[in-house]
Amino acid sequence: MKSCEKPEMYSLFRLSMAFVITLCFIVAVGKGQDEPIDVSSLRAPLEDVVRRIRHCYMVAVNRGDQISLQSIKNRPKVKIYDNRQVHRIWSSGDSLQFETKTDKVPQAGWQKITTTASENPFTQENIDINAGSITCMRSGQGFVCADIRPYSQTKAMSLKYRGLYTLNRSYGNRLHFYIPLIDLDRKWATTPQTWFAINEVYLSDLNDWRIVTSSTRGISPSVIVDILQPKELVYTPEKDSNRGELRLGDELFVIPLTQVTFSRQKNGKYYPTKIVSHRKWQFRGAMHEVDEVDGNSVILFKADEWTEFEDGIVFPKSGSEETFNKTSKEYSDLNGFSRTVIGCILSQKKLKPPKVLLDTRREWYIHSLKAIEPKDSLWVEKVSEFCVLDGDTGERVIFGVEKSVSDRIISGDLRGIRDLGVRNSRSSTMILFFAGALVVGAICVYYYRRRRPS
């Protein structure tokens, strides 16, 4: 009996080992083979994001607009602003409304907010209960922007109106919020839509995309894409008296490019997680990489986390974008700098990166995001007892009161208004006095008649 059990156990052991070896082989082969992927499949998820946020409500937090200063030792020194802006944004087609509140918070935990506000956009009826500023835009009958700033009760009593309602028909400023992708294909986006590097990636021509590396298997699947721009001539030996042994046809071209890292997310799709500006060089018909990418970036975009929100909307929950200014003087002597680049190409050495100075840094965090029903308009009309300022003409008027009273309030002549208030107060007092007297008199007559003998 025992002699029969050993062969059976041995056979079972061999089968188990064979299964493990086969499984390992399959995994190894799978890791060694990348999934087929092209630029169209990389761009499709991004197009889906832009389509889904066409009609949406978003609660977001911003921090940034940090300004860099240059110290005595020529080292980057960044002045950091601790203010954060909390936005509630309604966007539907070419209509927009957003509320912004600014407060000061510590650097740690600046993303955390608590809000119990209604998800419905503002109207004339509920505008006065808002403590922040509200902006709404429309472009159906010509572009118009309204900036609405309700005042506190104390300030409203002092100024004799509840807030300021400013109209602009030529809104040239950037929006008060900075959220990637949301301004794409919007008529109200009067500023360049390439404010974010990811917007520029979306708007670029797929014919300019080149897949550099692709690793779609393993722990961190990713694809790196270079988006090339037209080359620019920077050096011609004919115009350089110090060209040395360079031939007359040895022209140098610079090719600006954007390098995008697409990373696979939980839903199995690829989204941009890092974008850097870069450049390549063309010399004697061949393309060369001379610069260190990190050292020569002008824009650095990072999307830390792509999250699926309500209604299946996938969006970069948090991230940042930095812009840099180069402090080197490489272009002050363009011929000399070009010869240095050519020397690096011929010797296969790297070009020493110039010193860069952080110019701006902007961060965002999406608290919530959901789809809404398409709305014809998110516009808020003029609000009663608000000072309406026409930003184009400079005219002011208090909406909802008589013109004579409005003119006197705006001119600062409040004497008549105060006297009117005093008169009204005195009149009210007199009316109450006579009404009370009549009541007392009626009571006296009533009791007098009751006690009078019949």
- Which of 62-76, 192-206, 290-304, 309-323 is modeled with the greatest confidence? 309-323
- Which of 5-9, 17-21, 138-142, 433-437 is modeled with the greatest confidence? 138-142
Residue 262 confidence (pLDDT) above 80: yes
Rounded Cα gap, residues 100 and 155, in angstroms: 19
Of 46, 48, 49, 52, nearest to 371 (Cα)?
A: 52
Q: Residues 110, 367: contact at Cβ < 8 Å? A: no
Three-state DSSP class for residue 98: strand
Please, which residues bridge with residue 104 across strands? Answer: 83
Looking at residues 314-338, what average pLDDT do you find? Answer: 84
Question: Given this model, what pLDDT does residue 210 score?
Answer: 94
Percent of the chain with pLDDT over 70: 74
**β-bridge pairing 163-168 and 387-390:** parallel
Looking at residues 300-319, what average pLDDT do you find? Answer: 94
Question: Given this model, what pLDDT does residue 253 score?
Answer: 96
Rounded Cα gap, residues 353 and 361, in angstroms: 21
Please report, for residues 97, 276, 277, 293, the alpha-carbon distance to residue 352 in angstroms, rounded to integers and kept in the order given: 48, 18, 17, 11
User: In what helix (H) or strand (E) does residue 297 lie, and over which residues does it extend?
Assistant: none
pLDDT band, very low/low/confident/very high, at 143 (cuts 50, 70, 90): confident
Residue 4 confidence (pLDDT) above 50: no
Which amino acid is it at 335?
N
6, two tokens = 């050993």
pLDDT band, very low/low/confident/very high, at 136 (cuts 50, 70, 90): very high
Question: Given this model, what pLDDT does residue 74 score?
Answer: 56
Q: What is the pLDDT of residues 119-129, one digit of tens each?
A: 999 998 888 77
* All residues at 6 or more sequence positions from 313 whose CB lies less than 8 Å from its CB, including other chains: 49, 52, 53, 56, 369, 370, 371
Question: Given this model, what pLDDT does residue 79 score?
Answer: 64
DSSP code, position 122: P
Please report, for residues 8, 9, 152, the alpha-carbon distance to residue 3 in angstroms, rounded to integers and kept in the order given: 9, 11, 95
Rounded Cα gap, residues 387 and 443, in angstroms: 50
Question: Given this model, what pLDDT does residue 386 score?
Answer: 93
Looking at residues 147-169, what average pLDDT do you find? Answer: 90
Residue 406 confidence (pLDDT) above 80: yes
Rounded Cα gap, residues 444 and 446, in angstroms: 5
Percent of the chain with pLDDT over 90: 42
Please report, for residues 131, 262, 275, 357, 360, the alpha-carbon distance to residue 78 in angstroms, rounded to integers and kept in the order given: 31, 30, 22, 9, 9
* All residues at 6 or more sequence positions from 370 whose CB lies less than 8 Å from its CB, including other chains: 56, 57, 58, 119, 309, 310, 311, 313
DSSP code, position 291: B
Query: Poorest-confidence range of 64-68, 206-210, 386-390?
Result: 64-68
pLDDT band, very low/low/confident/very high, at 225 (cuts 50, 70, 90): very high
Question: Given this model, what pLDDT does residue 307 score?
Answer: 96
328 or 245, which is more confident? 245
17 or 317, which is more confident? 317
274 or 447, which is more confident? 274
